[in-house]
Structure 1
């Protein structure tokens, strides 16, 4: 049995389809099927129940897949050890970033990183937190940047910075005269939210968890864009909350509508997250060092109250 054969088994287990698995492994379907058949013959067991659609793992097949994951990870670790010993920082590195962090943080560090580490081929995907966690566990991402803590025992988290929530309030709103606000000043009925699936939305709901939502609103909107929410606030249709870094790009006339919270400021914790197997840890360390260096001057809040990105029931 070979590492390549085990990789084919893992691909079929994930995609539940021989043809799709072959495409992902960049081999023909007959080649992949033949190699899996060889390992089944060697072990004298069936790994997959081919009579079911989609293809399912047999009971022994599930145990084999669990062990195969460990073997493939440890094989990859050998490459890591050699590259680290040689001082080589390069190769492909797949990074996921959640949508409410990508537009503000990525431009701050990307240029510095690719100049400093030209041998790394950085592949960046914008994904929500659930997709990021799934891909990290399946080995389709090497690391990610997300709001934490995520309370996942299979994931490690390195805090990069704390980012306060900032209220965006229309003119003549009931609290627009205040220079600093408290959570109790907010009315959840008036807050325009990002659509379901965004952890920033869940953070706001956790922040305002003591409030109930009225059903008397004349409209309900959930958007995937802060820009849309800002424009609706400008039209007097409600209020919203923004991450601090997003407020730095607002026009001067819009900056006057921002209201910061009193200390300890409610904030999200932004971290670099990665699987506990710590593959490519030398690249993860390089990424952490680069990001920490550029955000230090832009965002340095310590007296904060961390709001969970996981919606509390």
Structure 2
């Protein structure tokens, strides 16, 4: 029994046709048929029922084909392990990222990795922090980009950058012409929040704790509204439904237009830095890269981190 013979029977089971299976395996049909006949004789079982119109797999053949598929996958994994031994960056990197980071970092990050490390394709997963932590623990992900704080998980963590929050207001809001805004000024506004499960929702409530009581009560909808994504909430802000807080990377690069009209921007939303009148630090979140301590591709982790540092990251503070 050889891996080639196993590959042939898997192809025939998939194609239900000897000729198409031979084409898929880049061999002649007689070569494939002879190899399968040899395997059937060795196993002393019939794997396929042949008729003029189609080929079907016998009940016992189905079990053998499933096992053959498993063996081929394991053999492929052996090759991947050997390849990684020669080049630690070779092989897929399964990267998770939370919803409030993904849209603003991934386009630049994927482009950077394709350019610098084409041998390490990314398999991406956007999700909530809790779900990403679970996927890291079970081995479904290799590493994840998260925002602190998150539950203690025993993971290895490397800081990436600190990112300030900015207030987003409708362009015609009375405070939109200010140079900055304070948490105190936000107290009387209708605050738009992300729904439960988003860690950034908790960050907003830390800056404006008075909205926590509305966020947890049904009648609070008169004071707060919830959205499924930051981009949804930005559109709600643009429509004049309220204000919100957003991370700095989600703020579009605004271009001045028509200087004679007062230097308005090409966005219906005005973004203002948040300042503490007492001189304290502005509200900030720390973004980190997390992975299992048992994960052995250290060079790949370092490469992902370096690729993130090579992204523009406007307005954030990179951490070493």
| Structure 2 counterpart of 1:288, from 285, 305, 309 | 305
Counterpart in the other structure of 1:105: 105
For residues 188 and 140 of structure 2, the distance between their equivalents in structure 1, rounded to whole angstroms, comes to 37
Counterpart in the other structure of 1:301: 317
Counterpart in the other structure of 2:247: 243
Counterpart in the other structure of 1:195: 195
For residues 133 and 29 of structure 1, the distance between their equivalents in structure 2, rounded to whole angstroms, comes to 37
Bigger radius of gyration among the two = 2
Deviation at 1:248, TM superposition (A): 2.1
Could you tell me whether the CA contact under 8 Å between 1:272 and 1:288 is conserved in 2?
yes
Could you tell me whether the CA contact under 8 Å between 2:169 and 2:243 is conserved in 1?
yes
CA distances 1:60-85 after superposition (whole Å, capped 9, x unpaired): xxxxxxxxxxxxxxxx9xx97x7676
Counterpart in the other structure of 2:143: 143
CA distances 1:210-247 after superposition (whole Å, capped 9, x unpaired): 55545465475321122321222222211111111111
CA distances 1:26-55 after superposition (whole Å, capped 9, x unpaired): x959988xxxxxxxxxxxxxxxxxxxxxxx
Equivalence map 1:202-217=2 (5 Å): 202-211=202-211, 213-214=213-214, 215=219, 217=221
* Structure 1 residues 172 and 213: CA distance shift in structure 2, 3 A: farther
Deviation at 1:159, TM superposition (A): 1.3
Could you tell me whether the CA contact under 8 Å between 2:194 and 2:227 is conserved in 1?
yes
* Structure 1 residues 200 and 219: CA distance shift in structure 2, 3 A: same
Cα root mean square deviation, aligned: 3.2
Could you tell me whether the CA contact under 8 Å between 2:248 and 2:316 is conserved in 1?
no
CA distances 1:102-158 after superposition (whole Å, capped 9, x unpaired): 111011121121221122132111111111000000011000111123242411211
| Structure 1 counterpart of 2:283, from 266, 271, 279 | 266
CA distances 1:266-311 after superposition (whole Å, capped 9, x unpaired): 1111111111213322111110011112246x23438xxxxxxxxx
Could you tell me whether the CA contact under 8 Å between 2:148 and 2:288 is conserved in 1?
yes
Could you tell me whether the CA contact under 8 Å between 1:188 and 1:211 is conserved in 2?
no
Could you tell me whether the CA contact under 8 Å between 2:95 and 2:141 is conserved in 1?
yes
Counterpart in the other structure of 1:9: none
Matched residue of 1:291: which SS? helix
* Structure 1 residues 29 and 223: CA distance shift in structure 2, 3 A: farther
* Structure 1 residues 153 and 135: CA distance shift in structure 2, 3 A: closer
TM-score by length of 2: 0.63
Equivalent pairs counted in the alignment come to: 231
**Counterpart check, 1:228 vs 2:232:** yes
CA distances 1:142-190 after superposition (whole Å, capped 9, x unpaired): 0011112324241121111111111011245453343112222222761
For residues 248 and 268 of structure 2, the distance between their equivalents in structure 1, rounded to whole angstroms, comes to 12
TM-score by length of 1: 0.64
Equivalence map 1:1-313=2 (5 Å): 86-173=86-173, 175-187=175-187, 190-211=190-211, 213-214=213-214, 215=219, 217-218=221-222, 221-249=225-253, 252-254=265-267, 257-262=270-275, 264-295=281-312, 298-301=314-317
Could you tell me whether the CA contact under 8 Å between 2:93 and 2:123 is conserved in 1?
yes
Could you tell me whether the CA contact under 8 Å between 1:192 and 1:222 is conserved in 2?
yes
For residues 220 and 209 of structure 1, the distance between their equivalents in structure 2, rounded to whole angstroms, comes to 13
Gaps of 5+ in 1: 1-26, 33-75, 303-313
